[in-house]
Amino acid sequence: MSDNPLDFQAREREEAEKAAVQRAVAELRRESLKWLMGGPKGRRAMWLILSFCGVFQRGSGQSQQEANRAAGRREVGIDLLDCLSSCGLEEVLVMFRENGFAPSLETQQ
């Protein structure tokens, strides 16, 4: 890290290094989630986490504090579901089907 604010080359190198680290972390996250979703136990664990986060529920009859907490948990679950979808939708759809949540998307003949 350069202390000289006019050393633009050093700043560009630092930014490139940070971007490389961010890409590596994102790839590691994607590969880890892909591995987790590759088997029924991993999909079941993910379903339990998403359920705990309240992704599949709507809050009603709660105090404002309870509603805010539920909304925070739900946001975490939705972010996690978004990460899962970036790994490939096929395993996410399998997880939904395994838990009886989504109808089959296969065409009927």
Q: What is the structure's pLDDT at 7?
A: 81
Per-residue three-class SS string for 63-87: CHHHHHHHHHHHHHHHHHHHHHHHH
Give me the count of residues in the chain: 109
Q: What is the structure's pLDDT at 39?
A: 93
Q: What is the structure's pLDDT at 43?
A: 93
* 51 assigned to some structural domain: yes
Q: Which two tokens stand for residue 7?
A: 């050393």
End-to-end CA distance of the chain: 63
**Threshold 0.75, pTM exceeds:** no
* 80 assigned to some structural domain: yes
* 30 assigned to some structural domain: yes
* 109 assigned to some structural domain: no
* 84 assigned to some structural domain: yes
What's the number of domains the chain is made of? 1
Domain that holds residue 69: 8-93
Give the pLDDT of the chain (109 residues) as one tens digit per residue.
Answer: 667 777 888 889 999 999 999 999 999 988 999 999 999 999 999 999 999 999 888 766 678 888 889 889 999 999 998 988 888 888 889 999 999 876 555 544 4
